[in-house]
Amino acid sequence: MTDATILTLAKESIKICILISAPFLLTALIVGLLISVLQAVTQIQEMTLTFVPKILAMILVFILILPWMLKKMTAFTENLILNIPHYIK
């Protein structure tokens, strides 16, 4: 296993990790921003108001992107397992 192979595997792993986490992070950012604007406009400073919508949005995003996430992770894992003989050389 060469240094280039290890770097390529690390790069692909980080890329998959970013792709899978991006929808969750963007959802949390957008929902948090909307709730912050709502709190600033109405001057309601309730702490639970920020958590409940974020949790519900995360559950919804998880349900919506689960097939895509599984497809990406399965393809990466299959590629990794199928190329084990090439990595051993």
Is 89 among the domain residues?
A: no
Is 88 among the domain residues?
A: no
How confident is the model at residue 1, as a pLDDT? Answer: 78
Is 38 among the domain residues?
A: yes
Residue-by-residue pLDDT tens, the chain, 89 positions? 788 888 999 999 999 999 999 999 999 999 999 999 998 898 888 878 888 999 999 999 999 999 999 999 999 999 999 998 888 87
Count of domains forming the chain: 1
Is 73 among the domain residues?
A: yes
How confident is the model at residue 43, as a pLDDT? Answer: 87
* Model confidence, pTM: 0.80
How confident is the model at residue 2, as a pLDDT? Answer: 84
The answer to whether 50 and 35 are in contact (CB under 8 A) is yes
Angle between helices 48-82 and 3-42 (to 10 degrees): 160
Q: What domain range includes position 51?
A: 3-82
Is 87 among the domain residues?
A: no
| Lookup result for tokens 């991006």 | 22
